[in-house]
Structure 1
Amino acid sequence: MKRTFRLAALGLAGLLAAGPALALDLTKKRQNLPDLVLGNEEGNDFVVENKDIEMEAGKAYRLRIVAKGRQEYKFYAPEFFRYIWLNQIVINHLEIHGGGPPDHLEFDDPGEIAIEFVAIKPGEYKWEARGLESKGMTGTISVK
């Protein structure tokens, strides 16, 4: 009985120790999603390219959010950010690593922000460029 318990405890400890290593390996197999583009270079600040993004739970992804317009874009997706495991946020080849989700991503000028993550919880999550919703600056991120 003691031997069985000891083997079970060792097996469980091994699985728990391997968890972070398996998660790190998962991020190396990430897929690039289509860029979500806010505005364009022709002067239409309120057009959105790829406003609806789809992915699968349990897989690693990279999503580039690109601002091409001249508006101040405040990208909010609170429920989506809450239900992903965030590996890093990359801005101008600088990496941000943190223990929790961002409140929002803000563009004061044209540029790009990439988020690398693992989708955790299936659902349909709304995103918006806060203050510009009436201009059509909204969409969905679907995790199946």
Structure 2
Amino acid sequence: MDDVDRTIIAHLSQDARISLAVLARRMKVARSTIQARLERLETTGVIAGYTIRLGETARTSRIRASVLLAIEPRSQAGILSRLKAIAQIERIHTTSGRIDLLLHLSTNSTAELDEVLDRISVIEGVRSLESLVHLSTRLDRAV
């Protein structure tokens, strides 16, 4: 990846719907150059897909939480397969330190959140669970 590729990615991170023509004009390069670069970035897996990022207005009706899990040694594979089946879990990260997994959840209500937490807590190999309900977003630099 060079500076042109990084600039393309930066523009797409701000607006994934930007047209090739507009992107080419902003970058002062040929449209065919942008198209070839995008195809290469997609083929090599640098760009895995295009998506939307919901604004605060769309997220305010959702209950969001982070869940910290400590798990039994050598139980991660089984736990991950069970967690992936829970639709309300948006992201799962492995971590270092006393916590083994960090989950990001989004539900329609506190009752639904409570039900999901109960489902997670009874998965074989889960030693402890701590949930942190998100109240408001003060900064979001996620791409």
TM-score higher than 0.5 here? no
Say which structure is richer in helix: 2
Give the TM-score normalised by structure 1.
0.30
Greater radius of gyration (CA): 2
